[in-house]
Structure 1
């Protein structure tokens, strides 16, 4: 019987409407070559849905998503709609309802894309971001609205469970790589949550004697990423720190336009969600020039998570080969359109024998 996976597809906004179909074309092709099927259900949720209905998704939207094996997301965001509506109306409810507590962001210098700093030519690291608590909590509020003394308060929420499971996932990952785990902290300035983060990370590492733990203050870590990017292997960070570091690292490797992201429920009790790091890029939406690499790479991560590593590797090798041959979209200094790059990847997949 053919292996089948039910995939929820949310193209979203802007260039998501262009790069998602491009990636699905290649995902479907590689699935056929490896003997499994992707059953795709497309949901027209995003800013256009918000304009029509006053919400980013219907009231039963999360229940509908829960039936799928994975969620494939394009981009969300519209300059005419506040980010608090688009982010808290779609992405964060998905992450938290499905306990996608790991945000996994691989960062690697891809063929044909020049590194932006010295030392990043062979960059290969992974950032593990705690994805459902930390600084991005909903605890807080505003008082005295409209008054000269108006005030806002935001509470960061760190739990032992949340920290330990992020640290454990990162340590297991590091154990299969170079054995180096860097923990981002700010315990010299943030007096309660960051010392707690440090303590729980250190306690978790007792179970991983083969992994070396380095605790580095976030400001020094950001500087060292620029000055010596090759020194890092796996970085574990809180929600806010991981968010910032992953974009910084992606830029060092050449462009955040090619960077993928996985929002994971590692135990697979709930669907995980895969998306590129780039935004909806309304300035180029509809022009046919968007770079599909981030979406393709996110698709490869999805295949790997579903248990199809050979297909994931083949898809990654195909878009890397196109980049190495000089086929690049204009954000990378090339002239290829979204469609032309996708054609190149599809041709590579069709030409190569399927990997076992």
Structure 2
């Protein structure tokens, strides 16, 4: 029986509720498929920060490196700046483990109504560059608090970084419709975005896919007006972040959206997390939607090579949604525990 060791970081807020829901479902489906899952939980996050001044221990990456994958709930606390919570935990893991691909499926789920009048099914992938771009640490602030205060931040695009995210996205596109949509803004950002466009065009030709280069503002509009026209979208760190949140809203709720932070070479463990945040406004009320966390677990199983177990878990989630069970973010009254129990029964 194959056995995988999973590092679990529930984190903050509703992460403490949806992560146990997902691990229960993962254990159930893994058992049915003869797969062993060993979950090692790490109590890192905002409470750890309030107690120690750090979101996670200094040797956290060494601890996580021994696992086959990492599952994260959410980070964020009303009393701690986001710059501390995000840059103190998630980003060091993404960069330390070279998780340069952020893969975010955007798909209509059965029983879930989105806000669009168009009923055409939505099913596309956003491949977000995850290690550089607009989210660099290069920059600073001068003359704080004065009328002459200055803030600057450098967007860093390397040929290696753009090539590897494009190659990953192009290979996905080649296996699907053969069309790769590239998010750009080369009419207004005159250095980095033309650089991005040139490399995407070069790599797409190598992978035998057609490139549809679309300005980010037009692409956002197209996602709303004709989301069914998209298949695989490749985007920079910032553009991919924004587009994927928009995509989850179009399919019904950010609570259902999963993501995978991948190191495709598998030199380091990959990390799987829902797109949503810690949602302190509903934390502790037992109404958080566990679908995003469970679906992230499905992506983790796929990454680990357990494709049949992954398919069964996703089928169980879709069966429960089709039956009309929905948490409040989807317009229902089902609790986190009730939805999880239904998925367990469906498995």
TM-score range with shorter-chain normalisation? over 0.9
Moved more, 94-103 or 173-182: 173-182
Name 2:158's counterpart in structure 1.
Answer: 159
Q: What is the 5 A alignment of 1:165-180?
A: 165-180=164-179
* 2-structure distance, mates of 1:252, 1:337: 23
Name 1:274's counterpart in structure 2.
Answer: 272
TM-score, normalization by structure 2: 0.99
Q: What is the 5 A alignment of 1:136-215?
A: 136-209=135-208, 211-215=209-213
* 2-structure distance, mates of 1:121, 1:85: 41
Name 1:247's counterpart in structure 2.
Answer: 245
Query: Cα RMSD over matched residues?
Result: 0.8
SS in 2 for 1:85: helix
Are 1:343 and 2:336 matched, yes or no? no
Moved more, 110-119 or 192-201: 110-119
* 2-structure distance, mates of 1:248, 1:40: 32
* 2-structure distance, mates of 1:195, 1:120: 36
Shift of 1:144: 1.3
* 1-structure distance, mates of 2:120, 2:88: 38
SS in 2 for 1:181: strand
SS in 1 for 2:241: helix
SS in 1 for 2:24: helix
> How many residues are aligned here?
347
SS in 2 for 1:24: helix
Name 1:256's counterpart in structure 2.
Answer: 254
Q: 1:321 aligns with which of 306, 319, 322?
A: 319
Contact 1:174–1:234 under 8 Å retained in 2:
yes
Shift of 1:108: 0.4
* 1-structure distance, mates of 2:40, 2:316: 25
Q: What is the 5 A alignment of 1:1-356?
A: 2-119=1-118, 121-209=120-208, 211-349=209-347
Residue segments in structure 2 that go unaligned for 5+ positions in a row: none
* 1-structure distance, mates of 2:331, 2:115: 13
* 2-structure distance, mates of 1:68, 1:144: 45
SS in 2 for 1:132: coil
SS in 2 for 1:262: strand
Question: Could you report, residue by residue, the CA deviation over 1:6-59 in whole angstroms, capped at 9, with x for unpaired residues?
Answer: 100000000000000000000001111111111110000000000000000011
Contact 1:120–1:230 under 8 Å retained in 2:
no
Residue segments in structure 1 that go unaligned for 5+ positions in a row: 350-356
* 2-structure distance, mates of 1:255, 1:324: 16
Contact 1:119–1:229 under 8 Å retained in 2:
no
* 1-structure distance, mates of 2:320, 2:42: 30
* 1-structure distance, mates of 2:196, 2:119: 29
Shift of 1:115: 2.1
Shift of 1:117: 1.2
Question: Could you report, residue by residue, the CA deviation over 1:174-232 in whole angstroms, capped at 9, with x for unpaired residues?
Answer: 111111110000000001000000001111112122x2110000011111111111110
